[in-house]
Amino acid sequence: MFDAVKVKNECVEWIRNFFEENGRGCNAVLGISGGKDSSIAAALCVEALGKERVIGVLMPQGEQHDIDMAYLLVNHLGIKHFEVNIKAAVDGLLGSIPDELEISVQARTNLPPRIRMSTVYAVSQSLNGRVVNTCNLSEDWVGYSTRYGDAAGDFSPMANLTVTEVKEIGRLLGLPDVLVDKVPIDGLCGKTDEENLGFTYAELDRYIRTGEIDDPEKKELIDRKHKANLFKLQLMPTFKPEI
Domain at 4-183, CATH homologous superfamily: HUPs (3.40.50.620)
Q: Does residue 186 surpass a pLDDT of 80? A: no
Spatial CB neighbours of 46, under 8 Å, sequence gap ≥ 6 = 54, 77, 79
pLDDT at residue number 110: 95
Q: For the chain, what is the mean pLDDT?
A: 95
75-111 burial, b for 16+ CB within 10 Å, e for fewer? Answer: ebbebebeebebeebbeeeeeeeeeeeeeeeeeeebb
pLDDT at residue number 149: 96
Going along 21-118, which residue ranges are E strands?
A: 27-31, 54-58, 80-83
Q: Does residue 228 surpass a pLDDT of 70? A: yes
For residue 25, the 8-state DSSP code is: T
What type of residue sits at position 46? V
Q: How far apart are CA 216 and CA 108, in angstroms?
A: 33
Of the pLDDT bands very low, low, confident and very high (cuts 50, 70, 90), residue 195 is: confident
Least confident of 52-66, 102-116, 178-192: 178-192
Domain range annotation of the chain: 4-183
Bridge partners for 58 per DSSP: 83
Helix (H) or strand (E) holding 165: helix 163-172
Q: How do residues 134-160 score in pLDDT, each as one tens digit?
A: 999 999 999 999 999 999 999 999 999
Q: Does residue 230 surpass a pLDDT of 90? A: yes
Q: How far apart are CA 180 and CA 167, in angstroms?
A: 6
Q: How far apart are CA 50 and CA 44, in angstroms?
A: 10
Q: CB–CB of 70/34 below 8 Å?
A: yes
Closest CA to 212 of 225, 224, 226, 222: 222
Dihedral sign (CA 156, 60, 112, 179): positive
Q: How far apart are CA 108 and CA 110, in angstroms?
A: 6
Tell me the mean pLDDT in the region 39-64: 98
Tell me the mean pLDDT in the region 40-66: 97
